Structures are given as C-alpha cells and as structure tokens.
Amino acid sequence: MKMINNNLEHTPLFSVIVPVYNVEEYVSVCLESLAKQTFKRIEVIIVDDGSTDNSLSICNLFAEKYDFFHVFHKNNEGQGIARNFGLSKALGNYISYVDSDDWVDENLFNDIYTTLIDNPDVDFINFGLDFVSSEGKSLYKLNDWSQKYLEGDDIFTNAMLDREVLSSPCNKIYKKCFLLENEIYFPHIKINEDLLYSRIVAYHSSKTLFLDNVYYHALIRSNSTSRAMSINNFQGSIEALRYQYDFLVSKSAYERYSELYKAYFVKQLSYLTILYSFRAPDKISFMNSQELIRNTKYNEYVRNRNVVKLLSRKHQVIAFLCNYPKLLRIAATIVSKIGLYKLGR
C-alpha cells in the first residue's frame, strides 16, 4: 500500500464531522478509529447535540489528547442539523460524516487521498461499508458496485432507486466546494434526513466514483436513533418524500423525473411496510402504519406500470406483497415465531 507523507501542521485536507448524542458506550471506539488514521491532514469536528450522559466528557478527553479534535456543544436538534453545524466549522477541502457509534478503517483517508490524486474532478467518492453486530461479527456488506464511475443523470437515477449511490451519507467523501456552491445541507427533520440529502447530492453531481474496499463499519444496536423502527419511520419517510417532491418542483424538474420519483416513493414505503410487518409491536400499530400510507398517493403510483417497471424484480415483488397488508402481517408473525427472522438493522 502506498503511504502518504503528510504533516499535522498543514491545513487539514479532510474534515470529519461526528454528531454525538447519548452514545457514551460507543463513542470512544469511533473517535479512536479517527485518532489512528495513517493520513494526518485531517480534523475531527465533534458536535455534541445536547447529550445528557457522559458523551461530551468523553469527547472532551479526546480533544485534550489530540489537537486535531475539536468539540462543539449545542442544543438537541437532530443529527442532520448537527452535521450542518459541523460543516460550517470545517476547514478541510473534503467532508466526511461518521456516526458516533460506528468506526472506520485506519487507512480510509490515506486511500481516499491517493484516489483523489488521479480523480480530482469527482464531486464525491463512494466506498464499501458493512454492518456489524454488537458481538463484532460482520453481518453483511455493501461494496459490490457494478460501476467504477457514474456521470450526469445516471447518478440521480441510481440514487433515487438505491442501486449503488446509497442513502447513507457515511460511506462517502464529499468535495466541500461542491456542497457549498450547490447549498446542499441536511433538511431540518429528525428522521430519514439522509434519504433527501443523498438525492439532493446526486441531483447536483456531475461525476462520482466507487471504491470496492470496505472502510466503514456500522454498528447494529437496538436502541440506535437511526436504526430503531416505529410508526415514526413512516411519518418521517412521508415527510422526506414530500421534501423530495418540493425540491424537484423548485428546480422545475418534477415533470422530467416524475416516474422516477413515483418509483422511489413506492420502493421506500413498500420496503418500510415489509420491515414493519415483522417489527411492529402489535397488529394495531402495523395497521396504523398502513393507514398513513393510504392517505398518500402510494396506491395510485403502485398501479402505474411505467412506475413499477423501474424497480428491480425484488422490489416489484415487495410492492406486490404490500397490496395485502393483513396477510403480510400474519405471515410475518408466523415466520418470527418459528425463528426464521431475526431483527437486523
């Protein structure tokens, strides 16, 4: 592996933004992985989002030990707004977002730097991530990209259908000037803000690149604010979908992308329905989620053949199953009871 000569005294090239909220059990592992980076021209911007446990104290200890760690404290408004705050403080030319219960490989920024030397024109870089159990076992990976590059409209289409440009902002490195010039910020919502952010990034991007290596490790834990599931996920997703519609309208682009938007709408809500059929605490909660969906244009969109054919075969099947929510819930309950389904992320 090629190693880079660099000096901590230089202006940071990468700004790593870490929103923190009540993660005293996990945040040390996250910050230690950043402290151990082999590439030293980085700064770590920790934004404590009103933690009520010992998270802030732990972060302050890292800032005392490492002069490239900087801690900010603010009132709780959600991790999206915390990330926006971190961006306003960033000095680096490139931006990375790391969740405070996750961690990264020590060569992440060294390898990204070597990639950027030959690819200075990309707006953002995608790399592999995996999901890890609390016991440290890698459960599955997302790094099997079919493309090396995407350009132009293909980036937005890919992102809208979650093919390779994933919704997560954490398996990416962004050019800061690209974010600022296009005024790309996280929306002021607390659930599913990543859904909208990733698609706004893709809409504005002219070129992106994919690396197969898995550098990011996402911890699966039941009490995670980003991975727990309730009816709030449906409300948050519907709100994010409405933001996406408003965004396309504001850009005079809805007519051009209307079928793509509708396919994304169907995919998102049908996928949530499948997950919640297993995870809902009771039948009433599950059926309440379906009432929320019925009050949207989901049924209109799912009957449109031009819309559904944009989905993968897997998601076409998922959308079909969601036409029968009562049977779906019964089947999910049976499968869970006999142990064929275990909660994932």
Structural domain that includes position 110: 14-219
Query: Rounded distance, CA 56 to CA 49, Å?
Result: 9
The count of structural domains within the chain is: 2
Question: Count of CB atoms within 10 A of residue 268's CB?
Answer: 23
190, 265: one domain:
no
Q: What is the CATH number of the domain that holds 68?
A: 3.90.550.10
247, 291: one domain:
yes
For residue 13, CA distances in Å to 51, 54, 150 come to: 29, 30, 24
pTM (2 decimals)? 0.90
Domain boundary among 196, 219, 242: 219
In a domain, 83, yes or no: yes
81, 206: one domain:
yes
175 touches 92 (CB < 8 A): no
Domain boundary among 164, 191, 219: 219
In a domain, 277, yes or no: yes
State the sign of the Cα–Cα–Cα–Cα dihedral 146, 185, 43, 92: positive
In a domain, 319, yes or no: yes
316, 203: one domain:
no
Residue at 193: amino acid letter: E
Domain boundary among 187, 219, 251: 219
167 touches 195 (CB < 8 A): yes
Instruction: Write out pLDDT tens, residues 249-293.
Output: 999 999 999 999 999 999 999 999 999 999 898 999 999 999 999
206, 237: one domain:
no
256, 203: one domain:
no
In a domain, 344, yes or no: no
Residue 308 tokens read as 């559904």
In a domain, 3, yes or no: no
132, 258: one domain:
no
In a domain, 345, yes or no: no
Residue 16 tokens read as 């790593």
In a domain, 7, yes or no: no
159, 249: one domain:
no
In a domain, 239, yes or no: yes
247, 201: one domain:
no
63, 164: one domain:
yes
Residue 334 tokens read as 């049976």
So what's the pLDDT on residue 191? Answer: 78
So what's the pLDDT on residue 228? Answer: 57
State the sign of the Cα–Cα–Cα–Cα dihedral 269, 272, 95, 76: positive
193, 319: one domain:
no
245, 105: one domain:
no
The ranges of the chain with pLDDT < 70 are 1-10, 222-228, 338-345
